[in-house]
């Protein structure tokens, strides 16, 4: 059973939809500028920036390193 079933597609689609709705809410409800949305208004501490860079890097490595035989 290594193939997506209908329930799997629903869960993945719902996850993407929820993420999209959260982004749209914060983009339109708070009236931020593009700079605020992309770079946090240049007011972020080093910890969130470092965590974001690390998670992005690890995520890319994980996707490239996962074997198709799983």
Q: What is the pLDDT of residues 7-58, one digit of tens each?
A: 999 999 999 999 999 888 877 887 777 777 677 777 878 898 889 888 888 8
Greater pLDDT, 55 or 2: 55
Greater pLDDT, 61 or 1: 61
The pTM of this model reads 0.49
- 4-18 b/e with 16+ CB inside 10 Å = b? eeeeeeeeeeeeeee
**What pLDDT does residue 43 have?**
80
**What pLDDT does residue 3 have?**
82
Mean pLDDT within 54-67 = 78
User: How far apart are the two ends of the chain, measured CA to CA in Å?
Assistant: 11
Give the residue carrying structure tokens 């799997």: 8
């Amino acid at each position: 059973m290594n193939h997506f079933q209908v329930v799997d597609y629903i869960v993945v689609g719902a996850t993407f939809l929820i993420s999209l709705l959260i982004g749209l809410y914060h983009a339109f409800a708070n009236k931020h500028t593009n700079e605020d949305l992309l770079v946090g208004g240049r007011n972020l501490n080093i910890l969130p920036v470092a965590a974001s860079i690390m998670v992005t890097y690890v995520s890319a490595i994980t996707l490239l390193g996962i074997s198709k035989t799983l």
